[in-house]
Chain A
């Protein structure tokens, strides 16, 4: 098992958007999905997870709806709205760009600078 990674600010919201974009998920489902995609390297249980969900819902990027979970429990399922889709697209492009630039700079060898 690899070392856990600390998330920078704002990244959690993006991850939630990404998790939900693959299909409607309830809260715990989102947690599991993120852990699964990240290869168990993200530890996001502590408090901040639901704060991110509430904020996204408030901004209208995801939409919650009560339904039945796989083990017949009442659970609130979140799905991506049109605005959320646009936001995810824009944010991922930005993030990938930024990460590439930072990584590119850090990868330079001393003789290349």
Chain B
């Protein structure tokens, strides 16, 4: 039996000599001493007594041996165990009760502590979970109302340089809406800094973790799903990697501004973004304009991204996620809506030839294409003869009814009708008045009004291309600086 042999071997290495071996050796020494004493002239009884006084009793020798080789504690424990076993054998009833209560006690305690361990002591399966801290501000007067430790990017970078800090994880809990499916679904999401993958040291089941490259150019739209969400939303589909999860009606609205000037080197992009930061939190006011813009963009869960334009120049993009469902399809705003004066055709429709000619002259001087007509019928005919579209109709105030009932329907442009500017003739002064404002206007006033209506002033164009109240509804707007050179 190899198992028993192994045990015997082990035991032999702990206590190499047996009880009888030790005792026999001691007896031989004792006898030798006794004989020596007898030889010195003592009686046998006296010699035996003296030898025992000098060397000790043979029966105690084994204890001395085990004490010397360090087995005393073991022996005492063994004695206790033997005593316990004998006591249990004497009272079998007591033994059963004791064993049952021990078993129950151990079971219950194990279950309880497993629960406490799982729920309270070790709730996070993260690398070095005991080293992860989430600092809070606590007011001594109201210790139960704590405040999150919010940091700006610059403060966060500063903190990560502190010696006791290994790495800093930035996060922002956010309420999100899963869209793009049949029914929108509310979820809790967390925006994370790019070091989240290494910070938690959690290996993803599928795909990859967040990587530092995800932070390039202001951050990518990458999502890490937790197991529960993966199971409930995708049914544990293993092919989920690479699919798009639409959240809060993203794809984002993108405002892209391209310049064709000299290239900004990639090194200067961080410098550029620095302009978008508040220099010093102690300064008065809410920071410089760039910072305010960025804060607003980030408050809307958007982000700013720089990249190189082809063949040269820099592209700056502002991504803004839309927040609420689009109730009706918005007309897609095209860059060609914004035309140069040469590309713009204006129909001047007036029965008064003086007013007509004055207006036409003013507009031609601004390089607009001008058609003149004295009646609605003539205007329709001229407009139909024009291959391009009419962008603006300059009409007498009295023609308003005609315009809405006859001219515009016959021009057949229901979806994107031309703008109409009504004017009226002032009898007191030979000047045109803006119909609505009732103020006499000069050439520059007329021109600026026309520009405004055509969306050709810079502000107006930006506003019409990106109307503030519809900001979140715009699907995708691309504006190129070349498109509105003035």
Contacts and interface: CB of A to CB of B under 8 A. Distances in A.
A64 B26 CA distance: 13
A75 interface: yes
Contacts of B65: 50, 54
A33 interface: no
B54 A58 contact: no
B29 A27 contact: yes
A28 B33 contact: yes
Interface string A1-39: 000000000000000000000000011100100000000
A55 interface: yes
B25 A47 contact: no
A9 to B, nearest CB: 14
Interface in A44-93: 45-47, 49-51, 54-55, 58, 64, 69, 71, 73-76
B35 interface: yes
B28 A73 contact: yes
B24 interface: yes
Contacts of B417: none
Contacts of A27: 25-26, 28-29
A74 B24 contact: yes
A58 B26 CA distance: 17
Contact of B25 (A31, A51, A75): A75
Contact of A45 (B24, B28, B54, B64): B54
Contact of B32 (A47, A50, A69): A69
A35 B65 CA distance: 23
Given A45-B54, A46-B54, A74-B24, A26 B29 contact: yes
Given A28-B33, A71-B35, A51 B67 contact: yes
Contacts of B31: 73
A54 B68 contact: yes
Contact of B64 (A26, A31, A51, A75): A51
Nearest to A27: B29
Nearest to A55: B68
A54 B32 contact: no
Interface residues of A, number: 20
B69 interface: yes
B28 A50 contact: no
A47 B56 contact: yes
A75 B28 contact: yes
A55 B32 contact: no
Contacts of B55: 45, 49-50
B54 A73 contact: no
B61 interface: yes
A74 B68 contact: no
A55 B26 CA distance: 15
Contact of A69 (B16, B28, B33, B69): B28
Nearest to A52: B68
Nearest to B30: A28
Nearest to B32: A28
A50 B26 contact: yes
A42 to B, nearest CB: 13
Contacts of B16: 58
A54 B69 contact: yes
Nearest to A47: B56
Nearest to A76: B25
A49 B25 CA distance: 13
Given A27-B25, A45-B55, A50-B61, A75 B69 contact: no
Given A46-B54, A47-B56, A55 B25 contact: no
A55 B54 contact: no
Nearest to A73: B28
Contact of A74 (B28, B33, B56): B28
Given A54-B64, A74-B28, 5 more contacts: A28-B32, A50-B26, A73-B28, A74-B24, A75-B28
18 contacts: A26-B32, A27-B25, A28-B29, A28-B33, A28-B36, A45-B54, A45-B55, A50-B55, A50-B56, A50-B61, A51-B67, A55-B68, A58-B16, A69-B32, A71-B35, A73-B32, A74-B24, A75-B25
